[in-house]
Structure 1
């Protein structure tokens, strides 16, 4: 409290001394004038009136700054205010935000905005803080100087942010601060711009959080749909397999038992993964081979399977049921429509920290009658996009001399994003 009192007293004393010296100079010039210089009363009245108005004006400035800033230290009382603001945006975006915040300032005029140099300059009309006071024109603190403020703001680019240097000051030279006060208007301007920047950053962050929440919700819904799709065992496949096993129990019990064994193996590999997004190439290969073994019993010599997957790659993480989708496509749209059947190749290769898994056939190839709806491949691409954020892909090309080759390429060791949220 005592420290604040001394600061306030020093401020008033500084203004009074500056004006006192100026008044003494004026009075001395007046006294040196012939004839009228002999009359002391005008000089005395001028001195007391001027100093009275100066002191009351200084106290008025103190009171208003105290109301606005809640303190009366040297920084708050100063006519010239400087702020350093760190904006967590790229320099160009930070400049756009700063420019918009400045243009919102009441009384703003003559805005000069240079985006290339990341600089904004403007003039600000100084409000009539106390309205039209009857003694306003006689107030010495308003006798000279322009009744207007100005500001300059510069953005300094950082690595991931823009640093704003903001200066708010009177449109008068620095020496005028010994005689004039701004009634806290530049403090108000500086704080108003900082508040506007903070508010806009808050709006951006809220928008980003809302967008992220919406995206997360959409991803959860998409993942849920994909889980349902790949967790459901093909009803027709089950029906046909059981029907075939039933027929074989009468004519060839041994083959029927083999078929049911492969079906059990297929289901064992399928059902536990219904709630697990990630599997391994080895586990998915066993599931696919169990599926193909069942079909080999049904299709006989019409189906041949060739597998070339190195043991070292079988631990590669792979989304569940993805390989199965490619194998089912090769059978349904490639080999089953052909009277003579054909071959399914499954191979895997590693190159440049990536693993490529290919399922190829020598069936019908790209044919409007056998191409299906494309939902299976579309789901594979969508799951790769959600799981690997663009670091994985699916390519489907024509196989030579006939058929189709579908290749999934995934990072060999890159961490995959979790499919669950929360």
Structure 2
């Protein structure tokens, strides 16, 4: 109540002094200055419109803001808004919010200085005022409100200073009211910024959830392929061992021994995605020994892996995939078979390069396959090493293909990976 009375008293005194000045000047005029009736009528009429307009302003401010205090009654509004974005991104959010305001025009944005200025048409809240020409509160009222937003960098965030005011000098506040329009503009900007930040956060969360889902689907697809490959190989091996038990029991026994070694190294991979180069090499050699029994002299194997590199972490079944590719697409299509080389070296950057090479058909379009196996290898390397590992597939000389996996000597910690 006190704030309302103070506001009414302030604007009444200001207009009262202005009216007294006008009446004093009128009274000093010769002849017509003696007529008191026009002066009295002017005084009552002007002061009545001023007080009525002041009450209208009070009621509209309460309607818009829900309260009446010095902040809501003021024609000039200031807001400090913290935006949890880098200053440039915060500026983009503020500029977009300003351009959304109804009646906005003449928007001037300076990205280098992080400032936005605009004019906003002052609305006719109750239609075109019927007494506009005679209403003293509208004599000097501007047609536009001004808006200025300045973004101040504050570390990883931006602080917005927002000023909404009439397009008139500050002294006019003693005689004019804005009917809460600048309070509405300031609140609208704050709401628009909050909404845009909320939309941005929801998009980021949705993107993160989609990435996590895609990662889970990729891993599930890899596990499914793994589960499909092993039974196929197991079936073929057991079928071959069954035939050999009749014609060559010794070779059948050797094949089953290699199969046991292969399964011993394969079964733990269902629970642990990571293995070591030594374990994967044992699995690959057991697989190749089984194939040597089936292919006979058509398959030769050469291994050159230093003992010091056997402890290198390596994703399970990855070396096996390259070996299977070399056999299926390189050597099996050739009548005379060929050789598979397994090599490992430490490069100049300290990483370990593991190569599976063959002297088979090479990049033959009829035997190159679909590329799903190599695609899965690359995807697993990306998920596991976050760009620190790679797969290179090149032509071998004089024939065949060489596939090289390059991995760090130690597995990155979970905090360093993009899980």
TM-score range, shorter chain: 0.7 to 0.9
Instruction: Say whether 1:341 aligns with 2:338.
Output: yes
Structure 1 residues 187 and 150: CA distance shift in structure 2, 3 A: same
Matched-pair contact (CA < 8 Å) for 2:381–2:389:
yes
Which runs of no fewer than 5 residues in structure 1 stay unpaired? none
Equivalent position to 1:277, from 270, 273, 281: 273
Matched-pair contact (CA < 8 Å) for 2:304–2:344:
yes
Equivalent position to 1:363, from 342, 351, 360: 360
How far 1:116 moved relative to its partner? 4.8
Between the aligned partners of 1:331 and 1:127, the Cα distance in structure 2 is 80
Matched-pair contact (CA < 8 Å) for 1:338–1:364:
no
SS at match of 1:368: coil
Q: Structure 1 runs of 4+ off > 6 angstroms? A: 417-421
Between the aligned partners of 1:13 and 1:323, the Cα distance in structure 2 is 89
Equivalent position to 1:393, from 385, 390, 393: 390
Between the aligned partners of 2:181 and 2:216, the Cα distance in structure 1 is 52
Structure 1 residues 236 and 52: CA distance shift in structure 2, 3 A: closer
How far 1:414 moved relative to its partner? 1.8
Structure 1 residues 121 and 420: CA distance shift in structure 2, 3 A: closer
Equivalent position to 1:174, from 163, 167, 170: 170
SS at match of 2:229: coil
Question: Could you tell me which residue of structure 1 aligns to residue 380 of structure 2?
Answer: 383
Question: Could you tell me which residue of structure 1 aligns to residue 237 of structure 2?
Answer: 241
Structure 1 residues 164 and 17: CA distance shift in structure 2, 3 A: same
How far 1:82 moved relative to its partner? 2.0
Between the aligned partners of 1:292 and 1:60, the Cα distance in structure 2 is 93
Equivalent position to 1:287, from 283, 289, 293: 283
Question: Could you list the per-position Cα deviations for residues 63-122 of structure 1 after superposition, in whole angstroms to 9, with x for gaps in the alignment?
Answer: 211221122222222111122333444545444433332222222223334445443322
Instruction: Pick which of 72-81 and 302-311 moved more.
Output: 302-311
Q: If the length of structure 1 is used for normalisation, what is the TM-score? A: 0.86
Structure 1 residues 159 and 40: CA distance shift in structure 2, 3 A: same
Between the aligned partners of 2:183 and 2:418, the Cα distance in structure 1 is 50
Between the aligned partners of 1:325 and 1:366, the Cα distance in structure 2 is 17
Tell me the number of residue pairs that the alignment of Structure 1 and Structure 2 aligns. 416
Instruction: Say whether 1:46 aligns with 2:39.
Output: no
How far 1:300 moved relative to its partner? 4.6
Equivalent position to 2:223, from 213, 216, 227: 227
Superposition RMSD in Å: 3.1
Structure 1 residues 420 and 352: CA distance shift in structure 2, 3 A: closer
SS at match of 1:138: coil
Q: If the length of structure 2 is used for normalisation, what is the TM-score? A: 0.87
Question: Pairwise mapping of residues 33-112 of structure 1 onto structure 2 (< 5 A)?
Answer: 33-112=29-108
SS at match of 2:354: strand
SS at match of 1:106: coil
Between the aligned partners of 1:54 and 1:71, the Cα distance in structure 2 is 22
